[in-house]
Amino acid sequence: DIQMTQSPSSLSASVGDRVTITCRASQGIRSDLGWYQQKPGKAPKRLIYAASSLQSGVPSRFSGSGSGTEFTLTINSLQPEDFATYYCLQHNNYPRTFGQGTKVDIK
Amino acid sequence: EIQLVDSGGGLVQPGGSQRLSCAASGFTFSNHWMSWVRQAPGKGLEWVASIKEDGSEKYYLDSVKDRFTVSRDNAKNSLYLQMTSLRVEDTAVYHCATGNTIGNWGQGTLVIVSS
């Protein structure tokens, strides 16, 4: 199985900050990765697909990069509605595997 | 607008069975892989199963293989997850999702396995 190691597990940030979250895959997964945002009590929402493509309707302050084994989600100018938990997902192989999640809260 | 409505959750005893359903609308259901993803209370996301457009290919998480069966009825735009031999550790919110890349999500249905 492909292990997805996500870091950090949590971070505190202020409105306007730039935030970076990383996922490392235990083997190469090309660009077969998505990033998701989940707010308490809600279903996750995909932000990024194919590692760097922005899902329709998602603000441009979200961006994704990387390929192979190392991937990054960046949030430029963090907004109040961005405080949430973020997950990566690899879909290169079965079983699909998620990172452990990164909780972004208010400093 | 893509809509996925999950249903069928509830309280079930260990060793029991439950069937989850997902009603899809707003897209051509028969043209898309579909998946189930679960989230135990306070925990992260875990992929459970995926099924091809025509049902000819299915993939499962090892821990549910031989206990869970994913199926679909393209005429009814519906996805199902038949769960048997349920364990306490299967307690989770179960979401259906579009694709085998997990695009859109249903709101989820809670399954509690407890005596």
Contact B102 A97 (CB under 8 A): no
B80, B19 Cβ separation under 8 angstroms: yes
Average pLDDT, chain A: 97
Query: Average model confidence (pLDDT) for chain B?
Result: 98
CA dihedral A74, A78, A81, A87 (to 10 degrees): 20
Name residue B44's amino acid. G
Task: Give CA–CA dist B105/A54, Å, rounded.
Answer: 17
In this model, does residue A93 exceed pLDDT 90? yes
Nearest to A101 among B35, B44, B106 (CB): B44
Share of chain A above pLDDT 90, in %: 98
Query: Cα–chain-centroid distance for residue A52?
Result: 11
> Which string of DSSP letters, residue by residue, matches A40-61?
TTS--EEEEETTTEEPTT--TT
Q: Which of A34, A49, A100 sits opposite B44 (nearest CB)?
A: A100
Percent of chain B exceeding pLDDT 90 equals: 100
* Distance (Å) from the alpha carbon of A80 to chain B's nearest alpha carbon: 22
Burial of A65-78, coded b for 16+ CB within 10 Å and e otherwise, reads: ebeeeebbbbbeeb
Supply the pLDDT for residue A107.
86
Q: Span A53-70, mean pLDDT?
A: 98
Work out the average pLDDT over B91-102. 97
Min distance B107 CA to chain A CA atoms (Å): 5
State whether A32 and B35 contact (CB < 8 Å): no
Question: What residues of A are in contact with residue B63 (Cβ under 8 Å)?
Answer: none
Contacts for B104 with CB less than 8 Å, ≥ 6 apart: A46, B2, B4, B97, B98
Question: How many residue pairs from chains A and B have C-beta atoms closer than 8 A?
Answer: 49
Q: A47 at the B interface (CB within 8 A)?
A: no
Does A20 score more than 90 pLDDT? yes
Reply yes or no on whether the pLDDT at B95 is more than 90. Answer: yes
In DSSP notation, B5-70 reads EEE--EEE-TT--EEEEEEEESS-GGGS-EEEEEE-TTS-EEEEEEE-TTSS-EEE-GGGTTTEEE
Evaluate if residue A98 carries a pLDDT over 90: yes
Could you tell me which residues of chain B have a Cβ less than 8 Å from any Cβ in chain A? 35, 44-47, 50, 59-62, 95, 100-108
Q: Is A58 on the interface with B (CB under 8 A)?
A: no
Among B102, B83, B63, residue whose Cα is nearest residue B14: B83
Whether A100 has its CB under 8 Å from any CB of chain B: the answer is: yes
Residue A5 pLDDT: 98
User: Does the pLDDT at position A106 exceed 90?
Assistant: no
B57: pLDDT confidence band, cut at 50, 70 and 90?
A: very high
Kindly state the average pLDDT of the residues A3-18: 97
- Calpha distance B51→B70 (Å, rounded): 7
What's the pLDDT band for A27 if we cut at 50, 70, 90?
Answer: very high
**Cβ–Cβ gap B44/A94 under 8 Å:** no
Residue A100 to residue A30: CA distance in whole angstroms: 20
Closest CA–CA distance from residue A98 to any residue of chain B (Å): 6
Chain B residues in contact with A91 by the CB 8 A cut-off are 100-102
